[in-house]
């Protein structure tokens, strides 16, 4: 005969020692057993970096970066049957759940019937045990929205959303619907193939965002000077095959004359092996070169960016800006800092 191990009867210190040795996927499963196990897991103080929600053909919750570990954990929620209703549809009550840690390769995969929790309740549970009241990113990846946006909003509840991210095949209509449903979001990332032409969504460019990301190395956008001058965000990241040295030069000169007044930092990526040319970038700006051993620090969110040297230019009101040219792996890029 065998008897179940009386785990919950262990002294608190011994219980914590046992649970600390268990994979995070199994710890989540353990926390679902009862209110008592949920409180036990919360008492472990297992804080994480981010919780993200992905809106795809199904709903996925992604948890990033556990303490002292680069791992991530993903939870997939499947409906009972494929819904053939006309989209968009309400977010379903999941029938089956699959969890795993990491994806390349996946580790510790678990599958079981959903224990009667809605996706909203799953999200709230994970936020509770991992001390995370905010959804770091809300991802949309489909060309058209499968799920009704009001249902998405209801699923999120009162959680603050850090960033709206549009990736893979997400279309313009879906992105516009998401922005209308979540107008308080201050960061937006347009990295999908459906958003490669910013002239089609100028209403997004003029939003008072804290950060706007346009394109990425795999989905370079086509942006012109007119669209760049419309951007009203504090931080701008642009990865575009149409960005040129002359175009950045014109952008800087417009800034010197008063354009983009909210901008604090802009990052221009040069994909496809192209090179920034300092002489073309700064032509006619009356710049002042700063020695490379002179270090300044720029606070960006909770991070500090070290700015070594660079080229100072001034706006007509006296505001100072610094142009730097950098390289990360095979990509060269131009950074422009505005000093407040």
Buried b (16+ CB within 10 A) or exposed e, 151-162: bbeebbeebebb
Sign of CA dihedral 192, 196, 200, 205: positive
Task: Give the N- to C-terminal CA distance of the chain in Å, as an integer.
Answer: 73
Model confidence band, residue 277 (pLDDT cutoffs 50, 70, 90): very high
Within-domain flag for 54: no
Buried b (16+ CB within 10 A) or exposed e, 113-143: ebeebbbeebbbbbbebbebeebbbbbbbbb
Within-domain flag for 254: yes
Within-domain flag for 180: no
The pLDDT of residue 298 is above 70: yes
Quote the domain boundaries for residue 278: 186-339
Most distant CA pair in the chain: distance in Å?
87
pLDDT digit string (tens) for 238-247?
Answer: 998 888 999 9
Which pLDDT score is estimated for 67?
Answer: 58
Q: What is the mean pLDDT of the chain?
A: 91
Within-domain flag for 82: no
Model confidence band, residue 340 (pLDDT cutoffs 50, 70, 90): confident
pLDDT digit string (tens) for 142-191?
Answer: 999 999 999 999 999 999 999 999 999 999 999 999 999 999 999 999 99
Which pLDDT score is estimated for 5?
Answer: 58
Within-domain flag for 285: yes
Within-domain flag for 317: yes
The pLDDT of residue 230 is above 90: yes
Model confidence band, residue 270 (pLDDT cutoffs 50, 70, 90): confident
pLDDT digit string (tens) for 113-148?
Answer: 999 999 999 999 999 999 998 999 999 999 999 999
User: What is the rounded distance in angstroms from the CA atom of residue 231 to the CA atom of residue 247?
Assistant: 15
- Please tell me which of 6-20, 74-88, 95-109, 250-264 the model is most confident about, judged by mean pLDDT: 250-264
Determine the 3-state secondary structure of 316 from DSSP.
Answer: coil
Which pLDDT score is estimated for 2?
Answer: 45
Within-domain flag for 136: no
Q: In percent, how much of the chain has pLDDT > 90? A: 72
User: What is the rounded distance in angstroms from the CA atom of residue 254 to the CA atom of residue 246?
Assistant: 12
Domain count, the chain: 1
Within-domain flag for 302: yes
The pLDDT of residue 83 is above 70: no
């Amino acid at each position: 005969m065998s008897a179940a191990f009386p785990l919950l009867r262990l002294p608190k210190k011994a219980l914590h020692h046992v649970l600390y040795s268990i994979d995070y996927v199994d710890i989540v499963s353990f926390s679902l057993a009862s209110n008592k196990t949920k409180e036990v897991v919360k008492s472990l103080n297992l804080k994480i970096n981010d919780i993200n929600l992905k809106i795809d053909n199904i709903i996925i919750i992604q948890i990033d970066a556990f303490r002292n570990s680069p791992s991530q954990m993903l939870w997939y929620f499947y409906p009972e049957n494929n819904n053939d209703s006309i989209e968009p549809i309400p977010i379903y009550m999941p029938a089956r759940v699959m969890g795993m840690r990491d994806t390349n390769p996946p580790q510790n995969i678990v599958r079981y019937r959903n224990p009667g929790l809605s996706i909203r309740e799953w999200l709230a549970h994970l936020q509770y045990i991992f001390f995370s009241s905010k959804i770091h990113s809300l991802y949309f990846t489909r060309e058209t929205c499968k799920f009704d946006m009001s249902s998405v909003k209801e699923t999120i509840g009162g959680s603050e959303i850090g960033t709206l991210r549009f990736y893979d095949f997400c279309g313009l209509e879906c992105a516009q619907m998401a922005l209308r449903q979540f107008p308080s979001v201050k960061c937006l990332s347009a990295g999908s193939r459906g958003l490669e032409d910013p002239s089609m969504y100028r209403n997004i460019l003029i939003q008072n965002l804290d950060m706007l990301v346009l394109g990425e190395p795999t989905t370079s956008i086509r942006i012109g000077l007119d669209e760049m001058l419309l951007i009203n965000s504090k931080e701008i990241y642009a990865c575009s095959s149409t960005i040129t040295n002359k175009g950045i030069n014109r952008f800087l000169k417009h800034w010197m004359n008063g354009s983009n007044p909210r901008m604090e930092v802009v990052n221009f990526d040069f994909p496809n092996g192209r090179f920034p040319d300092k002489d073309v970038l700064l032509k006619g700006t009356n710049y002042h070169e700063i020695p490379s051993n002179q270090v300044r620090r720029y606070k960006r969110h909770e991070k500090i960016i070290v700015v070594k040297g660079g080229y100072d230019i001034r706006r007509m009101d006296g505001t100072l800006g610094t142009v730097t040219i950098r390289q990360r792996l095979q990509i060269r890029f131009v950074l422009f800092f505005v000093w407040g």
